[in-house]
Structure 1
Amino acid sequence: MTVSTTNTVPVPPGLVIAPQLPDLLATVEIRRGVLGFLRNHPVVAIGGALLLCLVLIGIFAPYLGTVDPTALAPAKRTRAPSADFWFGTDALGRDIYSRVLYGARVSLTVGLSVALLASLAGLAIGLVAGFVRWADGILMRFMDGLMSIPPILLAVALMALTRGSVGNVILAITVAEVPRVTRLVRGVVLSLREQPYVDAAIASGTRTPMIILRHILPNTLAPMLVQATYICASAMIVESILSFIGAGTPPTIPSWGNIMAEGRALWQVKPFIVFFPAAFLSVTVLAVNLVGDGLRDALDPRMAKGL
């Protein structure tokens, strides 16, 4: 009896087609794209969604029912939250809702700017210190000296030498955060420079700058990206501390630290003045930390669970 296959190819006499064996292993589904990455890592999705909402709040603050955050209204001071003043008013009659939403611009600008600048500076210094042996001792002793000073004290000292402004706050916090990135990148480079492919590049006559750019730099981006998220969160907290103690942004610029500082004298009787900016600061820091934790799990091959 002649048996034919699905494509009508005749089978020689005496031969039969074996039945299809069941799959012993489940088919591996490779999820690609941004949506697939977010499905595999919901922590990043949650943190990113919260952070995106806060960024949009800061950008579109003038269109979210706000008023001039610096407008004084002594007759309406310390009003409790109501339909007219959603978050209440402070001791000078300023609308806390408007000040909190505009304050998101300051905190997010400081956090993202410090993360970017500190990452770039720390990356450059860490690459040189980790790969160039003679420069390691000089650069790292300087970084160790900066790390011996608590970041908040170093930022206060730098702010004492300049006038209060957002730019000076960013510069002061960046100087305090650069050593953290430098030590991280240096540690990664020290392990990478002993790899066989680096030895092969050196033996083939490749110049040191090209080795750093082609073979070392790409392998340092993943841990540095995770570290940048933590620096962003730390920078926002430090900025609030500086503003709270009067060493950060000037009082004319609404920031979460300024709002909390102005309401601390009335904390026991008017706690809402401090509660709302503190809540926004906590949610923002939580969102950034969630993104950092999710990226750490996603970029660490030992913790990856799916393809």
Structure 2
Amino acid sequence: MSTTTIAPGALRAEDVAAAAPLPDVFPPVKARRGFIGYIRRNPIMAFGGLLMILILLMAIFAPFLWTVDPTALAPARRTREPSAMYWFGTDMLGRDVYSRVLYGARVSLIVGFSVAFCASVIGLTIGLISGFVRWADAIIMRIMDGLMSIPSILLAIALMALTRGSVGNVILAITIAEVPRVSRLVRGVVLSLREQPYVDAAVASGTTTPRIIIRHILPNTLAPLTVQATYICASAMIAESILSFIGAGTPPIIPSWGNIMAEGRALWQVKPYIVFFPAIFLSLTVLAVNLLGDGLRDWLDPRMAKKV
């Protein structure tokens, strides 16, 4: 029979007392879930995105949403009240307001997205050159200051007065009016970035100026530029409606929210629905874009994060 010997000073398992578990002093760290997790924590941005998607789908699939020709005249059915047959009523020429509002969303969205893209690209290029190339800063910024001294809507009206009314000319006029704001934003970001140590190291190593701008400066300007583009998109939609409302925008034959409101203002007191429906859709679209802009600002800027 074998016997087990225990070395002097050794502890047996039954002689060791298990310590009580320590209380949790710090709450468990919740892992970030990226964009989806941010959407769950920010329902306002989710609402804005959902609303924007619905408006986009409405504009794309307008021909399949029980609409008729938005330019078809029917004098016998003019100024009909909203009903089961005419959901938004008819205007003074008998055109279906529901169809005109849905097709008008295409004009506003095309103008808004096109102006946001063109103004961002042009303003980004001007801002990068002006902010990094010191000798060009004084010349370029004085031109931008001169354009910014004129209210954007007045500048757009003046540019439209020199051309004929069309969607392309409206986009061009509003883009020229919005470029100075983008260029000044990008210039301010570049002025702070070019003093960073990694830029000085790139210059000391002999890196060319275009390479420094593309590799070190440009990526750090995309976040604020993206947020600014959303606000430009909303501003462009409002500007297009103003231009069309006063007769300086898209031709009357093209259904746009501004044209619909302009045609219904004469009957506002007796037939307010002609102006009410396009105004509501314009407000909802601008609200959706602004909510997305606010959400993008919080998501792209770590200083705005609510939870670390």
For this structure pair, what is the TM-score category when the shorter chain's length is used for normalisation? over 0.9
2:114 corresponds to: 113
2:285 corresponds to: 284
Aligned counterparts of 1:33 and 1:248: Cα–Cα separation in 2? 42
How far the C-alpha of 1:244 sits from its partner, in A, is 0.4
Aligned counterparts of 2:181 and 2:242: Cα–Cα separation in 1? 20
Matched-pair contact (CA < 8 Å) for 1:129–1:136: yes
Q: Supply the AA of the counterpart residue of 1:53.
A: L
Q: Supply the AA of the counterpart residue of 2:237.
A: M
2:7 corresponds to: none
How far the C-alpha of 1:297 sits from its partner, in A, is 2.1
Aligned counterparts of 1:158 and 1:110: Cα–Cα separation in 2? 16
Matched-pair contact (CA < 8 Å) for 1:43–1:293: no
Deviations 1:95-147 (A, max 9, x none): 00000000000001100110011011101110110011001011111111111
Deviations 1:256-277 (A, max 9, x none): 0000000000000100000000
Helix, strand or coil for the counterpart of 1:302? Answer: helix
Q: Which residues of structure 1 form unaligned runs of 5+? A: 1-10
Helix, strand or coil for the counterpart of 1:70? Answer: coil
Q: Supply the AA of the counterpart residue of 2:106.
A: R
Moved over 6 A (4+): none
How far the C-alpha of 1:204 sits from its partner, in A, is 1.3
Matches within 5 A, 1:94-243: 94-243=95-244
1:90 corresponds to: 91
How far the C-alpha of 1:215 sits from its partner, in A, is 1.2
1:305 corresponds to: 306
1:65 corresponds to: 66
- Farther-moved stretch of structure 1 (24-33 vs 234-243): 24-33
Q: TM-score, normalised by structure 1?
A: 0.93
How far the C-alpha of 1:12 sits from its partner, in A, is 6.4
- Farther-moved stretch of structure 1 (271-280 vs 17-26): 17-26
Aligned counterparts of 1:120 and 1:209: Cα–Cα separation in 2? 16
Aligned counterparts of 2:264 and 2:45: Cα–Cα separation in 1? 34
Q: Supply the AA of the counterpart residue of 2:144.
A: M
How far the C-alpha of 1:210 sits from its partner, in A, is 1.2
1:30 corresponds to: 31
- Farther-moved stretch of structure 1 (85-94 vs 151-160): 151-160
How far the C-alpha of 1:195 sits from its partner, in A, is 0.9
Distance 1:148 1:22, change over 3 A: same
Aligned counterparts of 1:123 and 1:15: Cα–Cα separation in 2? 70
Helix, strand or coil for the counterpart of 1:29? Answer: coil
Aligned counterparts of 1:165 and 1:37: Cα–Cα separation in 2? 40
Q: Kindly name which structure, 1 or 2, has the bigger radius of gyration based on alpha carbons.
A: 2
Matched-pair contact (CA < 8 Å) for 1:244–1:258: yes
Q: Percent identity?
A: 76
Deviations 1:142-166 (A, max 9, x none): 1111111111111111111111111
* Structure 1 vs Structure 2 CA RMSD: 1.5
Q: Supply the AA of the counterpart residue of 1:131.
A: F
How far the C-alpha of 1:44 sits from its partner, in A, is 1.6
How far the C-alpha of 1:17 sits from its partner, in A, is 5.8
Matched-pair contact (CA < 8 Å) for 1:41–1:298: no
Matched-pair contact (CA < 8 Å) for 1:233–1:289: yes
How far the C-alpha of 1:174 sits from its partner, in A, is 0.4
Deviations 1:2-61 (A, max 9, x none): xxxxxxxxx964766645433321222223243222113222211111111101000000
Give the total of aligned pairs: 297
- Farther-moved stretch of structure 1 (75-84 vs 203-212): 203-212
Helix, strand or coil for the counterpart of 2:303? Answer: coil
Aligned counterparts of 1:33 and 1:91: Cα–Cα separation in 2? 52
1:3 corresponds to: none
Helix, strand or coil for the counterpart of 1:84? Answer: coil
Aligned counterparts of 2:41 and 2:204: Cα–Cα separation in 1? 41
